[in-house]
Amino acid sequence: MALNIGDKAPGFSLQNTEGKHIRLSDFENTRNVVLLFFPLAFTSTCTEELCTTRDNLKIYESLNAEVLGVSSADSFHVLKEFKKAQNINFQLLSDFNRDVAKLYGTLYEDFFGMKGVSKRSSFIIDKEGRIVYREILDNASDLPDFEGIIKNLNEIE
């Protein structure tokens, strides 16, 4: 079942790079959430995506948005090293069991022979827990529409 604009975002609880569980509900009624699914840590396009987000984090914060990067292929241990290596200044979450990626419909059937790898995808979830933006890219070398994400964040009241 595909998620659409206006749908209630599926809740989740995932481990961050410190092993702490972060829940989508932690931000309900307080902050919008930018959820960025990415295929694999330490790859060129994922590094570019997350470093671009890192370099623009003040914009997201000024728009009352919490950015959460989610990998379905990497453990929180790998994400911890990736975060440190790239000086990522927002939370990275491990969806190693692929539960959340399945809920959000972001998994490739086959990614270069690997199963359970998330497509590069972006969701904005407003403070009420509704999806207000969604982008799921089939081509892993494409970057998210950063301008579209910021434009949509600007339109949330």
Closest to 144 in 3D by CA, of 57, 38, 6: 38
- Catalytically annotated residue among 22, 33, 46, 79: 46
Q: Centre a 10 Å sphere on the Cβ of residue 139 and count the other Cβ atoms it contains.
A: 9
Q: What gap in Å lies between CA 43 and CA 140, rounded to an integer?
A: 10
Q: What gap in Å lies between CA 83 and CA 156, rounded to an integer?
A: 29
Q: What gap in Å lies between CA 92 and CA 8, rounded to an integer?
A: 22
Contact by Cβ (8 Å): 94, 76: yes
What letter does residue 144 receive in the DSSP assignment? P
Q: What gap in Å lies between CA 38 and CA 66, rounded to an integer?
A: 16
Contact by Cβ (8 Å): 88, 54: yes
The question of whether 46 is a catalytic residue gets the answer yes
Residues annotated as catalytic (active site), given as ranges: 46
